[in-house]
């Protein structure tokens, strides 16, 4: 454990030989879970044992560390400052102490968590499930929702091994990999009378696009998105009839109504036949989105996470158009 970490922790002021390093595992669990009960479940300890460890931590570090607010434990500023250094040190110790061995997918067990929209339930999970069944049958993959308004927080709050998000500025502790570029296409029910006479795969006329009502994908319930900004640049406006927080709901709504929607081109191609949809190019230029994968640097060399992350990245890169 390096001196800079010890300085942050404050242990250098104590007799380090008497400090129980197991308390760091308890502090790490409390910082992640915000509850003595959940921290105990994570560590296979009783709630009273966790509370006792917290009391010892408070005495050793001379800080309350957590303040109770209702049913939650809220970390003090000092405890928050410890969170990342403690996690990094515990990860480093785990790596140091782990016996050297090559990762064997066929015999490995464990869980890999992916944070992303339900777009990836269609475009990633079927192929990933098939790959894991064939090559790593003991591994489980979980797709979880992104944290609304703060996608990067999904790595911590969703305990995600990778998050699949639109490209954005990232903090220093996050690694990234570009995956694929996603343009947008328009989908409509094949029997929608509003598209009568139009040829699928052609550009939808702007008057048709603006006159028909739209379903908008928005987990946050926003009534405007990139498509509206692109229309505004050509002096046009569309009519948003509803918002839906999942792409599957957007496609279902379009397939059973005379509404239309802008969706990623890869998704439109994937579901068009099953939902009996016609697919068109939008009438105005829309900048495609670069989708990236992000993960915490501390997990960079974890054997299981590194192997599955590599498979996810390879599968996602195949979606590039």
Alpha helices in 106-198 (DSSP H): 119-123, 125-135, 154-157
User: Could you give the strand order of the β-sheet that contains 213-217, starting from the edge strand earlier in sequence?
Assistant: 239-244, 213-217, 260-264, 184-189, 277-280
Per-residue pLDDT tens over the stretch 265-281:
999 999 999 999 999 99
Per-residue pLDDT tens over the stretch 107-163:
999 999 999 999 999 999 999 999 999 999 999 999 999 998 899 999 988 889 999
The pLDDT score that the predictor gives to residue 10 is: 54
Q: From CA 13, how far away is CA 65, in angstroms rounded? A: 17
Indicate if the pLDDT at residue 17 is higher than 70. no
Contact predicate 316/209, CB 8 Å: no
The pLDDT score that the predictor gives to residue 20 is: 78
Q: What percent of the chain has pLDDT over 90?
A: 68
The pLDDT score that the predictor gives to residue 3 is: 47
Confidence category of residue 98, pLDDT binned at 50, 70, 90: low
Identify how many contiguous H helices and E strands the chain contains and give both numbers. 13, 12
The pLDDT score that the predictor gives to residue 72 is: 83
Per-residue pLDDT tens over the stretch 48-61:
999 999 999 898 88
Model pTM score = 0.72
Per-residue pLDDT tens over the stretch 188-245:
999 999 999 999 899 999 999 999 999 999 988 889 999 999 999 999 999 999 999 9
């Amino acid at each position: 454990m390096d001196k800079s970490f010890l300085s942050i922790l404050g242990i250098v002021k104590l007799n380090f030989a008497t400090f129980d390093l197991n308390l760091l595992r308890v502090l790490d669990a409390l910082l992640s879970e915000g509850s003595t009960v959940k921290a105990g479940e994570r560590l296979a300890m009783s709630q009273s044992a966790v509370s006792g460890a917290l009391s010892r931590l408070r005495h050793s570090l001379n800080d309350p560390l957590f303040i109770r607010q209702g049913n939650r434990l809220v970390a003090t500023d000092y405890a928050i400052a410890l969170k990342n250094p403690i996690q990094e040190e515990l990860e480093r110790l785990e790596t140091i102490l782990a016996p050297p061995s090559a990762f064997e997918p066929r015999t490995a067990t464990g869980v890999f968590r992916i944070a992303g929209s339900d777009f990836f339930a269609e475009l990633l999970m079927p192929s990933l499930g098939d790959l894991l069944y064939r090559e790593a049958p003991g591994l489980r993959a979980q797709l979880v929702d992104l944290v609304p308004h703060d996608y990067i927080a999904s790595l911590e709050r969703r305990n995600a091994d990778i998050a699949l998000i639109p490209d954005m500025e990232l903090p220093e502790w996050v690694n990234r990999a570009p995956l694929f570029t996603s343009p947008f296409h328009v989908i409509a029910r094949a029997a929608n009378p509003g598209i009568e006479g139009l040829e699928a795969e052609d550009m939808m006329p702007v008057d048709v696009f603006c006159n028909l009502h739209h379903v908008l994908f928005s987990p946050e319930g926003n009534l405007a998105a990139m498509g509206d900004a692109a229309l505004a640049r050509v002096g046009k406006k569309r009519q948003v009839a509803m918002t839906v927080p999942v792409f599957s709901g957007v496609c279902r709504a379009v397939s059973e109504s005379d509404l239309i929607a802008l969706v990623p081109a890869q998704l439109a191609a994937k579901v068009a036949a099953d939902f009996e949809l016609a697919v068109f190019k939008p009438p105005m230029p829309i900048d495609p989105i670069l989708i990236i994968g992000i993960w915490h640097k501390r997990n960079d060399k974890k054997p299981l996470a590194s192997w599955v992350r590599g498979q996810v990245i390879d599968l996602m890169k195949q979606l590039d158009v």
